[in-house]
Amino acid sequence: MSTIKTPSMLNAYLLLHFIVFIWGFTAILGKLIEIPAVEVVFYRTLFASIGLYALLKWRKIPIKVPKKELWTILGTGVLIAIHWILFFLAARISNVSICLAGMATASLWTSFIDPMVNKRKIKFYEPLVAIVSVIGIAVVFQSTIDAAMGFIVAIISAFLAAVFTVINGKLVAKQNHFTITYYEMIGACGTVVLFFPVYGYWFTDYGLSLLFTTSDFIYLLILSLICTVYAYSIAVKLMQRLTAFTINLTINLEPVYGITVAVFLFGSEEKMDGNFYWGTAIIVLSVIMYPLLRRYFDGKNIKRDIVR
């Protein structure tokens, strides 16, 4: 197990928002990287696996895990790979707005999946808060459902995100968060490799595009080491303190952070109108509502927001 101390509640929330802010850069990196999305996922998981292996060896963190848990972690990696592939596919067959609107349903799915997995009652205010957040995302992007298939694919991707987030909440109680992420990235990378023949034949006109430029390599390293090795691993560790629902709800701020940074980087290419500010206000309201509603309805029995 990790010797790193579990962060306090306030620090956990601040760290979560910092992680989501980092993830906001993934869309920007996706815009800067020239190779196709599926190839990006391959290199992202490959470089992350290598980086995590070096980190585990350097910090002398045990790599071996029981076989039963190993297969669970690798299987979770498969879900992560499918989630990322569907995410990029949704953006491709519709647009980024519709894709992100569909992804906002992850917190709604989590409000039902987490109670089933952890054998607790569904708290009525969790689906309510999730719906408010989805409305905020929709207002931000003013998405029309012209590309219904893209929206459906994004919802499936969001469902998978909810599933592996809940699974990670249980895994982190038994294994080091870096070890978990290491095997999940191996499972994800292997899944993408197995998907390559289908992808190369059915989804591309010229086969795989695995050659990258020097700038692509630099951006891929940032995506792999900072946005994945660091950010994803810390997000897994935060599940020792925060619920899966809290994490997925806060992740809805990712496009808000990403768009804000993109405006500074790309200027007029990224325009924001009044809908952005109204939608952002609704999303922030949903994020603030959740801990307040939980404290109010759960009363003094909740001493800390920890996954059960």
Domain presence at residue 214: yes
In-domain check, residue 308: no
What is the pLDDT at residue 1? 43
Q: Does the residue 110 lie in any domain?
A: yes
Helix axes 106-117, 244-251, angle to 10 degrees: 170
> What pLDDT shows up at residue 245?
79
Gap between the Cα atoms of 39 and 85, Å rounded = 10
Asked, for residue 103, whether it belongs to a domain, the answer is: yes
Domain annotation covers residue 305: no
- Total structural domains in the chain? 1
pLDDT for the residue numbered 78: 95
Mean pLDDT of 48-54: 95
Whether 1 is in a domain gets the answer no
Task: Record the pTM.
Answer: 0.77
Query: Which tens digits make up the pLDDT trace of 261-306?
Result: 766 766 555 555 667 667 767 777 777 777 777 777 765 444 444 3
Q: Is residue 3 part of a domain?
A: no
At residue 143, the pLDDT reads: 47
Domain around 126: 9-300
Residue 93 confidence (pLDDT): 72
Is 2 part of any domain?
no
Is the CA virtual torsion 245, 246, 249, 254 positive or negative?
negative
Q: Which residue has the higher pLDDT, 27 or 25?
A: 25
Q: What is the pLDDT of residue 263?
A: 66
The yes-or-no verdict on residue 148 having pLDDT over 90 is no
Contact call for residues 59 and 3 (beta carbons, < 8 A):
no
